[in-house]
Each structure stands twice: as structure tokens, then as C-alpha cells.
A and B are shown apart, each in its own frame.
Chain A
């Protein structure tokens, strides 16, 4: 009886885990951007969208993700957006609504969105100072 409960418990656990929404790692140089079809190579500007249904879409530029959201109306409470941080490739993806953005031609991102994302305004400071530009929040990104 006990083993049976265990088996059921484990089975349920596995189901629960497999249902958890999670980011899919981007295979750089292979995966294509869902909006512009270009192959994603630049780890500084990549972005990923997790829809309500749990599907993931990958992008090579924050601008592409914004356009995709607009065109497909992906704006529910459960939709979450993630962006790569400009300074640390290993740091992983940031939640877009918590990240700080800078926009400048200096970044020259793949689709000319020219947005760079940072984990905090402190991390963006030396660049925003040297480029003399203000930081932006996610809803100001176009």
C-alpha cells in the first residue's frame, strides 16, 4: 500500500514539475528569431517570451519581442518577458519588467532596436553616464 502511495506521489510530482513554465535555453547560431527570422547569435541582446499557454518564443532583439507582442496581442497577466543582460552573459535572463534599459546607437543591436538591458540602475550607471542618456523602464521600450 505504502509503495503504491509513493508511486502515485512521485508520478504526481513529475506531472507537476513538467507543467511548470520555464524558459527554454537559446541555441545560439541555430535558433531563429520568431519575428524577423534571423538566426540568433548575439548573446547581449537576446530575448524570450513565455505565453499564457506556456509556449516560448525566442528573439534576437528586444525590439523584435515588442513588435511580436503588439502583432499577436500577447498581453495577459501570465505572459512573461525575459531579456538577456547586456553586461553578463552568464548571469542569465532578467525579467523584463524588473530590468533597466538604455537605448543608444552605440549598442548596434541586430535589428536596430539599440536597447541594452541591465539588472539594476547601478549596473547601467557607468554606461548611461558616459553616453549621457537616461535609463528606461520596460513599458517605455518600443
Chain B
């Protein structure tokens, strides 16, 4: 009996001393920083509703910061806000707003420096230069945040999610708008970008630089200044994304430059000036995509090799493919082209004569851009017909030998 009581007492005393405490934080009663300093690793800081005018809040131990009804942490357009230097920190349910604007330091709502397993979720990041800024950080989880800024009027604008020299990140279900680039990756590997909505950012919805073996899928990139750019990277998988209305002189659904061994599948490209622009890209598989109502569905520079374009739908694009070379080292097969007017006598569902996706006018405007002014004139129709009978200008190795008679069902 005695032994039993003893054991129970010991058990409970251990339990109570090891159990994470919850510390309540109210506005005006001790700062968030002073409560962090008092807390020990594993504690939960419950931040209650109100406005906290604090800045450079350093989280250097394993804490969970939890907001109740979105308490406001305000940087008054002068300061940076949270700086996380400990692993396994969680920040959720806060409204983190108005960081400073500076050309010397990158002011961020939440800055992660050399950490891993940090979770940033369900926050509102409003009018911050950078929303979440990761440097040398791994296995972090950024989900369900709303990041809103007005970078257009700023000289020192920043990105929604900015990651540098990081790896194994998951960026999921965020809504990002009004930043310079929605999501920016530089030297980031083995990361996933899933189900985010990135709209009306000043430059790119998503921007990859020197980042390899990453996946982005089921994202929506709408109305960004220049669409999405994937540059100087390899092993990037892009699946199931929507690229809509990225419109302008230098705007692209996807801009691919110097990238190789990647996949672009099951994406939807609607109403972009150029849906896919490729320069210096090798061994990319472009399959099962839908290209609707774009200016150019694809502009492929002569520096591209061994790319395969198959089983895509091309509909109502002004130009299906444009190129400045012959592109004989790339393959087109089994695509559906709405401009194809061939026949299928053997009823094998593919046309019996090849389709040449580069129209004569695409070649001419590529060489002399101002001739666009005559597009859709009577003259160009005549040229089109003549070229069909006597091909002389269009690159004749560039053709789809098995054009589909019916649209692919990609839904």
C-alpha cells in the first residue's frame, strides 16, 4: 500500500513537472517577448485578442505561439516581427502586420534562421515586406496562411514565401497576393508546393532559381505580372496547376530557362500571352495539358533539345507553336490541334497526314515582331494557304505525325 502511494506520488510529481504549461498573454500585461523569456521549452503561449506593438520578437526555444481570435502583432511599418532561431517552433492563429520597409535588411513577418521542423499555419500576414522568410531551414511546414501586400507601390518589395538554401519544405494551402513574387525559391531542394493560390503578384506567382527536385501541384497562378518562372533548375515536377490570365508584353504562363529533366503534366493554361516559353531546356516531358485561348501556346527557342510534347489539347490559341529555329530535336506526337483539318480514312483516331503546328505567320512575327499588325488580314490568309500547298518557310521537321482527331478527355 505504501509502495503504491509512493509510486503514484512519484509518477504525479514527474508528470506535473514535465507537462507543458500554458501561459496566457494579454495585451498591456507583459510583452510577448518577456513571456517567451520566462517560458521553458515545450510551453504554449496563448496570445489573447488585442494589439501588440512589439518587434524583433526572438523565439529561441521550442514554443508554440497560439493566437486566440487573431491577435494583432503590429510592426508599425518600421520593424521586423518574429525571428525564430529554435527548431520545432509552432506559430498559429496570429495577425502579423506592417513590417518595416528597408533596403538594408529583409524585413519579414516571420523569419526562420537555420532551423528545422517549424510550423507556420493559419496566420494572416498583412502588408509585410516578406511574409515568411526561410534561410538555411529544413523540414518546415507553411500552411493555410493568407499573405497580402501592396508591393506595387513599394521600392523595396519582397516575396510572400521566400526560401533560400533550404530543403524538404512543404508550402500548402496558402493564399498569396500583392507581393513581388508569391513564392520564391533559391537553392531549395526536395520541397513541395501544393494547393496554393497566388494571384496578382507584381512579378511572378512562383519563382524557382537554382532549385532542384521540387514538386509543385494543384496550385493556381492567376493575373500575376509575369506568370511563373522556373530557371536554372532541374528535376522539377509541375502537375495539375492552373495558369490563368498572365497577360502582358513579358508575361508567360511558365517561363522555362536553362532547366532539364522535368515534367509538366495535367496543367491548364488559359488566356496567357505565352503559355509556355522555353529557352535552353532539355529532356522535358509536356503531356496531358490543356492550352486554351492563349496568344502563343508555346514559344520554343532553338536552344531546346529532346523535349517531348504529347497528348496535349491545343484549342483557340492564336499561335500553337512558334520557334526561331527548326527544332528538329524535339518530338511532337498524339496531340489534339483544333486547327488540324486532315482526315482519318483508316479510322485509327489519328489523322493520316501530319500537322505542322508552326504557322507561317508565327515564323514571320518571330523574325519581325511588328508584322503582327497584319495578323488576321486577307494577305496572311493567302500566305497560309500557299504555304500549305508549297511549304517553304515553316520548319518542316517540326510536325505531329499522329495528330488526334478528337480532343483528349483530361478532366
Contact = CB atoms under 8 A, between A and B. Distances in A.
A109 B225 CA distance: 19
A30 B247 CA distance: 11
Given A37-B257, A41-B180, A30 B155 contact: no
B203 A41 contact: yes
Nearest to A87: B103
B250 A39 contact: yes
A30 B249 CA distance: 7
A29 B249 contact: no
Interface residues of B, number: 21
B169 interface: no
Interface string B151-174: 010010100000000000000000
- Chain A contact-residue range equals 10 to 19
Interface in B228-242: 229, 231
A136 interface: no
Contact of A44 (B103, B231, B250): B103
16 contacts: A29-B152, A29-B202, A29-B225, A30-B225, A32-B250, A36-B231, A36-B257, A37-B279, A38-B203, A38-B229, A39-B225, A39-B226, A41-B157, A43-B155, A44-B103, A89-B155
Contacts of B157: 41
For the complex of A and B, the 8 pairs showing the least CB-CB separation, nearest first, are: A32-B250, A39-B226, A39-B203, A41-B203, A29-B202, A39-B250, A29-B225, A41-B180
B248 interface: yes
Interface in A28-70: 29-32, 36-39, 41, 43-44
Contacts of B103: 44
Given A29-B225, A38-B231, A39-B250, 20 more contacts: A29-B203, A30-B225, A30-B249, A31-B250, A32-B226, A36-B231, A37-B250, A37-B257, A37-B279, A38-B203, A38-B226, A38-B229, A39-B204, A39-B225, A39-B226, A41-B180, A41-B203, A43-B155, A44-B103, A112-B209
